Amino acid sequence: MDTIEATSDESGTLDLVDALLAQWREQRPDLDCSPMGVIDRLNRVSALLLVAQERVFRDFGLDYPSFDVLATLRRTAGHQLAPGELAQYMMITPGAITHRLTKLEAAGLVERTLDRFDRRRVTVSLTDKGFKLVDEALVAHVDNERQLLAGFSTEEQGEFVRLLKHFMADLYANQPSAH
């Protein structure tokens, strides 16, 4: 089996993706695999960011999905939502939100209550314990993200935002449900 070695670009930055692309150029010179250079790097960056974020959340007894629920409730006016609204904000299935809520409710971080005007409607809200925990975790999370981006100037970060917003808009526009 061939080993893959990271290559370095003109700045000396090691990059495994360049080595993978070189292998594809050798094996399939007829195929332009350059889009893999962007998408594979985005996937790898995403995975590395998740690991870096999980380290911070673990200090608070949380994981990314749990923090996401708590943070979604925290930033919402009134700090409460219906489970379906939570799922929609978080772009997950109702089944996934139910599992997360059960775990957070058992930890005393959220509570589900029947709507007093419509007994068929359930709302999820932060408990005092959940509110305090998410506020503490949020400070550490933002600090961690600031450190993760420290190697980039404000202008470079702005360019990231511009390019990613453009990419996301294209992806959303090309979703089958958008047509």
Same domain (yes/no): 73, 21: no
CB contact set of 2 (below 8 Å; sequence gap of 6+): 23
Same domain (yes/no): 23, 88: no
**What's the CATH code of the domain at 159?**
1.10.10.10
Same domain (yes/no): 163, 106: yes
| Domain boundary pick from 58, 82, 97 | 58
Question: Per the domain annotation, does 132 fall within a domain?
Answer: yes
Same domain (yes/no): 38, 126: no
Same domain (yes/no): 50, 19: yes
Same domain (yes/no): 86, 119: yes
Question: Per the domain annotation, does 6 fall within a domain?
Answer: no
Range of the domain at 33: 11-58
pLDDT (0 to 100) of residue 6:
57
Same domain (yes/no): 46, 112: no
User: What pTM value is reported for the model?
Assistant: 0.82
Same domain (yes/no): 125, 151: yes
* 3-class DSSP string for the chain: CCCCCCEECCCCCEEHHHHHHHHHHHHCCCCCCHHHHHHHHHHHHHHHHHHHHHHHHHCCCCCHHHHHHHHHHHHCHHHEECHHHHHHHHCCCHHHHHHHHHHHHHCCCEEEEECCCCCCCEEEEECHHHHHHHHHHHHHHHHHHHHHCCCCCHHHHHHHHHHHHHHHHHHHHCCHHHC
Residue positions counted in the chain: 179
Same domain (yes/no): 32, 110: no
- Tens digit of pLDDT at every position of the chain (179 positions): 455 555 556 665 658 899 999 999 999 999 999 999 999 999 999 999 999 999 999 999 999 999 999 999 999 988 899 999 999 998 888 888 999 999 999 999 999 998 778 778 899 999 999 999 999 999 999 999 999 999 999 999 999 999 999 999 999 898 886 44
Query: Structurally, how many domains does the chain consist of?
Result: 2
Same domain (yes/no): 75, 127: yes
Question: Per the domain annotation, does 109 fall within a domain?
Answer: yes
Same domain (yes/no): 148, 74: yes
Same domain (yes/no): 121, 85: yes
